[in-house]
Amino acid sequence: MLSYGFLSTHPPTRCGLATFNAALATHLIGGGTRGGVVRVADSGEEQSVPSGVVHTWATDTPAGWRGAAAALNAFDVVVVQHEYGIYPGPDGQDVLPLLRRLTVPSIVVLHTVLSNPSPRQKSLLEQVVAVAGAVVTMTDTARDRLLAGYRAAPEKVSVIPHGVAEQVGVPAPRRTRPHLLTWGLLGPGKGIEWSLRALARLQDLDPAPTFTVAGRTHPKVIAHQGETYREGLHRLGARLGVAGAVDYQPVYQDPATLGALIRSADVVLLPYDSREQVTSGVLVEAVAAGIPVVATPFPHAVELLTGGLGSVVPHHDPAALATAIRRILAEPGPVGRVRAVAGELRWPAVAARYGALAERLTAARGLAVSAASA
């Protein structure tokens, strides 16, 4: 039975990468399987050591990658979450010497594959792929982008979807008005302003919809801009006359409460400004819950919503957003089709695919070592 080391941000850090890593670790480490997390954390973050964390890589520690690599080498396989802004150094380049120092196989999960990277970003990702034992993207779009735009060996790259939890627990609240929802860490680029403008165009409906914006402002946005973005949304809602229909919930919700909120929605809105986003945990959670989604054409939405699971509308177009919402509210989509897709996205199934990849990787390494010593 293999043991697993994980390198990532990790709770109590509250970000998508930390949530993803915690869920994957939970489902890979169980039934006696040994594992541990090397947590990447800024100096200002909570420094208490959560359960399962065997080492903390403080991002302001010079050459902190050395201690992190030493801790990870105690396991059979290392799973690394990769995002440019997570690790120290320009574009997070300090992850590269760590990967080179590993003496055990590594699986690198790419959360971002840019279509127009800077020369340094392109070179860094190519080197990460070259030194990794295996690479995972969460969508076919990301895999195709990686193979077309970067030097990457196709045989190294696997597509394993973003996992979602089984949504159980708190009952979904009963609502008398159509309920629109978006959630996640808040900041510029989320496109909430376009949702507010679309909501203003839907006030002729009887009853008119309500809109919930759930989630705290992203810690990095707070550090650089404070609550400027959120305050701007409040002013825009008042100017549009929809302030009373919008419920801002700036709190971190536990999975059961969030699951109930998601199940109470009639439509999930994801009008992201980004044209690069190849992975969206919010999108996957909504689809898994059987809730129709209206999103802008970022790559993950285009790939996952094709075939009637939702609608894709142009960027910065509140009229198109409102039209798509009207259509869904008038003619609810085929929830059965959505639930069929959702079964493939549950964390146990997703973690099993990581486990199978790790087994293949270690088996191949064992054969190579045997051949070299023969």
What are the structural domains of the chain?
4-163+346-373 (3.40.50.2000), 179-343 (3.40.50.2000)
Give 285-334 pLDDT, tens digit per residue. 888 888 899 999 998 898 888 766 789 999 999 999 999 999 999 976 54
pLDDT of 205 higher than 90: yes
Phi-psi category of 120—alpha, beta or left, where left has phi over 0 and alpha has psi -120 to 50?
alpha
For the residues of 14-52, what is the DSSP string, one character each? -SHHHHHHHHHHHHHS-TT--EEEEEEE-TTS-----TT
Show the tokens assigned to 20.
Answer: 């993803």
Show the tokens assigned to 282.
Answer: 């919010």
Q: Per mean pLDDT, which of 97-106, 303-312, 363-372 is the most reliable?
A: 97-106
Cα separation, 286 vs 45, whole angstroms: 29
Cα separation, 126 vs 110, whole angstroms: 12
Q: What is the pLDDT of residue 331?
A: 79
142-157 in b/e form (b: 16+ CB < 10 A) is: bbbbbeebbebeeebb
Structure confidence at residue 369 as a pLDDT band (50, 70, 90): low
* 3-state helix vs strand vs coil in the chain, percent to 5: 45, 15, 40
Give 213-253 pLDDT, tens digit per residue. 999 998 889 989 999 999 999 999 999 999 999 999 999 88
Q: Tell me, what DSSP letter sits at residue 291?
A: -
pTM here? 0.77
Which one has a higher pLDDT value, 285 or 202? Answer: 202
Q: Tell me, what DSSP letter sits at residue 346?
A: B
- Cα dihedral 148, 141, 39, 48, rounded to 10, equals 150
CB 213 within 8 A of CB 191: no
Give 331-361 pLDDT, tens digit per residue. 765 444 555 556 678 899 999 999 999 999 9
Give 81-90 pLDDT, tens digit per residue. 999 989 999 9
CB 194 within 8 A of CB 273: no
Phi-psi category of 92—alpha, beta or left, where left has phi over 0 and alpha has psi -120 to 50?
left
User: Percentage of residues in the chain with pLDDT exceeding 90?
Assistant: 68
Give 20-76 pLDDT, tens digit per residue. 999 999 999 877 789 999 999 987 666 667 789 999 999 999 999 999 999 999 999
CB 108 within 8 A of CB 138: no
Q: What is the mean pLDDT of the chain?
A: 90
Cα separation, 361 vs 366, whole angstroms: 9
User: Percentage of residues in the chain with pLDDT exceeding 70?
Assistant: 91
94 three-class SS: coil
Indicate the range of 6-20, 88-102, 134-148, 330-344 predicted with least confidence: 330-344
Which one has a higher pLDDT value, 113 or 165? Answer: 113
Spell out the residues 6+ positions from residue 258 whose beta carbon is closer than 8 angstroms to its own. 183, 214
- State mean pLDDT over 124-149: 96
Indicate the range of 4-8, 56-60, 280-284 predicted with least confidence: 280-284
